[in-house]
Structure 1
Amino acid sequence: MIDLRSDTVTKPTRGMLGAMFKAEVGDDVYGEDPTTNYLEEKVAKLLGKEGSIFVASGTMANQLSLRAHTQPGDEVIMDRNSHAFLNEGAGGAAISGVQFFLLEGNRGILDPLKIEQAIRDPSDYHHPVTSLIWIENTHNRGGGSIYPPDLVREISRVAKDYNLRLHMDGARLLNASVALGIDPKEYTRYVDSTSLCLSKGLGAPVGSVVAGNREFVRRIRRFRKMLGGGMRQTGYLAAAGIYALDHHVDRLAEDHANAKLLAKAIAQLDCFRINPNNVETNIVYFRVVEGKLNPDGLKDELRENAILVHQVGNDYFRAVTHLDVSRQDILQVISLLKRAVSQLTA
């Protein structure tokens, strides 16, 4: 089975399993798990922050960050297709009591001028208080689009001018830094806090890390406990994250190359609409041209040939390359996709 639904489907490598088996552990709620402590120190150093904290998932990282940065009734500025808005069960409203001011980004990338125009006048009590600017890098619904670091710097300037916090949902941050060939600190130097997912392209089975200053991490730790996220011998999971950071970062470039190869092949089929130039990292979105073929039939035909893709709505598909998908797998997908199209349009 070639599973392209998401980069979350990766399974631990033999080396990662070995690291997990050998991990020295303790009780993390007491702060006594040496492997988890080491991971948190490692990520804080990688991202240039005072501290970081291991959490169960990317969604938990996002929801805890919203809670730590805001008060109930605040407003958060973000792109309308942000994961934190679309795909987290209205957690921002339910857990933090915030509302969102949603902007139309360019494939998820926000314009600093539009952000500035969205900031509320804090003296007008008819309106909510703007407290947080939220960016997602890379942007999932934007097709793995990348924020230019200079743009993040400009957004940071806006945040500072209005005394707002700036958070980066960096679930796939290392995809962005690898694609541009830069240190991730070229991004994180401009934000107050950021997350980093270990269980997507990096291949760990579980976990994300949230990084920021010491007070922010202290607040995250309190809210993590409140939401039932205080786990015990997390060192087994942290060991997988450490292994991933040591062995699986540079190879993200292979995923990007595979995604671009797939996108170029899809673009040659006239029943699909895709701009391969928009594929910057490991996410490929493509749309079925109306009347050309049946989208459900395409998904079923691919599944029968042991290929899984994610259907977003009726005629929109996503394919995500990752650690468990090789170049040979992509070539096989291209061949079978062409065959499926030929059969469905005959």
Structure 2
Amino acid sequence: MSTTKFKNEMTPKERIAALQEGKPYDRVPCNPSLSAHAARVTGITVAEYHLSAEKMAEAQIAAYKTYGHDFVGVSAILGIVHAMGGHVEYPQQSSPYIAGQLVKKYSDLHHLQPLNAEKNEHLLLIFRAAEILLDELGNEVPVSIGVRAPFSTAATLRGVELFMRDLYSQPELVHRLLQFALDNTIAVIKKALNLGVAVSISDPVASGSLISATHYREYAFPYAKKLIDAIKAAGGSSPTLHICGNTKKIWQAMADTGAGALSIEDKIDLSEVKRAVGDRVIIAGNIRPSEAMYQGKPEDVVADVKQGLRQAFDNPKGYIVQLGCGLPIDTPPENIHALVGAVRKYGQYPLNPELF
């Protein structure tokens, strides 16, 4: 938690560095998790955004200059699956998705080739977009590449429903698939870190709505920890880890992965997270992406920001105002302006007394 009053506003890069290093900083950072909403800023289709490094980077740059948030980045999630042999569909105006099932039976693993992070066209597109962002904004704002944790990648390759059954019936084969997902993801993060970007991790299939805390510790946790260990060993900073749903039963395990920040969904009271693990990790969350950002009005967004600040502004390791999950593509721009504006107004240290 920062208590110093600053005369001049810090750049996002300075602010995040101070937060991570435990030094004073001027205000709470804000991450609206824009993703493909950036396509709406430049007027291109979602498919054009995902299939052109230049357009992707241009859209992220335009969105940053429009909204003034504290993080920019691109995602390698679909690129990793594509590079392992999966098929990805790119609708013109909605989110891309993975079509088909790559591991129909576990013998298929013998035929899967390790991805080549230096040659796959979809991964090269992501890396090129990240390079453009670094060239244009890297001195001012942190740039990141997002990846899935091995558990969620393995579930994607196998099919989530089958994978859930396999946890009970084929544990040894599940671990083989998890190791395959881990090895391929490490190849991507090493390339990303060589570029000079940060890495963020999401693990939606590890949600408490889908698996038990016991299964999380048996299957998801070991591979998330190995991935984070690899990030640190390659010179990267401790990443943010996001898991959807109610994660209360696994907060300690999530912190044990070595993540630097835990991204929490919007149904959770952040003061509970603060009491449980706030002395170990930064808390990131938990603006409602649908009810407030997409369906709500600016005043609903401001109310969410105030609530998050009241609950977590004094977290010992710090707090980032962030969405509880991904931002819907067609979120009204006025709600994103309201988000960033509310953080600027109420998130300055010392905090605005209007909050209380």
**TM-score, normalised via structure 1 length:** 0.29
More strand per residue: 1 or 2?
1
For the pair shown, the structure with the greater C-alpha radius of gyration is 1
Query: Relative contact order, CA 8 A, sep 6+: which one is greater?
Result: 1
